[in-house]
Amino acid sequence: MSSERPEEISDSTLSRSRQTSDAGRDGETAGDQASPDDASRQEATVLVRGETIREQEPKSPPKKSPSKEKSPRKEVSATKVKMQGRLPALDDDSDVGVQKEHVVIRDGKADLAFTGTLLASAAPPSAPKEQWQEYRIYETNGGKHVFSKVTRSVFAEEQDTHEAEVFDPSPSSMPSQLLRSARDLARSRPLTWMDAAVAFFGYDPLAKTLYRKLGSQFEEHIS
C-alpha cells in the first residue's frame, strides 16, 4: 500500500499544475483580445523627442460676439441742407454795406438789436462734417462794433449756436482807466475794434478770410 500512494499524489499534483498553466494561457489570450471600448477608455500618449505627453482634447471654437447694431440715421433739415449747398455764400451777403435794422442772436444773453451796417461776413467753402461756422462784423450808427459767430448743423435735432460781443470804442471813462499811471497811458496803444475782433475770432483760416474782406488793416506790416 505504501508503494501506490506516491504515484497517486504525483498524478494529482501534475494535474493541478497543468490546470494552472492552462488558466494562465487563457488569461493572456483574454488580455490580448480586449474589446475596443476598453482600449478607448485608456488615455493615449505620444512620444515626442523622448518626452511622453498626454493627448489634449480639442478646444471648442470661440463664440462670436453679437454684431453691434448700427445707429439710426439722423434726420436732416431741408432748410439747412440748402444753406450748406450754397456755401460759402450766405443769405445776407446782399446786406453788406447796407444800413438797416439788425438783430444779432446771442445764446444765454439778450439779443442785440441796432441800426447799422454789416461790414463783412465769411463762411467755409464746404462742410464735410455737416457742420460749419459763419463769422460777421457789424458797425452800429453809434460807432460801436458787433462781432457774431454762428455754428450751424444740417441735422434737425442739433440746434445752431450763437455767440456775439459788442466793442465800445470809448472805454477811457471806465474807472479802471483812471487807476493807470500817466506813464502807462502814454506808452500804451489804445484798444481798437480790430484788436477786439482778433480777440473774438482769433486767426483761424475762416477769420483770416473775414479780415481780408475788410482790407489790409489786419495785416502786420514790417519794414
Residues shown for the chain: 223
Q: Kindly report, residue by residue over 126-162, the tens digit of the pLDDT.
A: 998 999 999 999 999 999 999 999 999 999 999 999 9
Tell me the sheet residues that pair with 152.
132
pLDDT at residue number 8: 46
**Residue that is written with C-alpha cell 488558466 in the block:** 23
Q: Is the pTM of this model over 0.75?
A: no
pLDDT at residue number 73: 80
Among 139, 143, 146, 152, residue whose Cα is nearest residue 109: 146
- In angstroms, what CA-CA distances link 92 with 157, 211, 219? 24, 18, 26
131 φ, ψ (degrees, to nearest 5): -135, 150
202: left (phi over 0), alpha (psi -120 to 50) or beta: left
pLDDT at residue number 94: 95
pLDDT at residue number 147: 98
pLDDT at residue number 175: 47
The amino acid sitting at 189 is: R
Give yes or no for a contact between 177 and 171, defined as CB atoms under 8 angstroms apart: yes
Give yes or no for a contact between 149 and 133, defined as CB atoms under 8 angstroms apart: yes
Grid cell listed for 156 = 434737425
Burial of 155-193, coded b for 16+ CB within 10 Å and e otherwise, reads eeebeeebbbbebeeeeeeeeeeeeeeeeeeeeeeeeeb
Report the C-alpha gap between 123 and 90 in whole angstroms: 7
| pLDDT < 50 regions, the chain | 1-10, 12-14, 17, 20, 24, 27-31, 34, 36, 39-48, 52-53, 173-179
What dihedral do alpha carbons 184, 186, 190, 195 form, nearest 10°? -70
Q: Kindly report, residue by residue over 8-34, the tens digit of the pLDDT.
A: 444 544 455 455 455 545 544 444 554
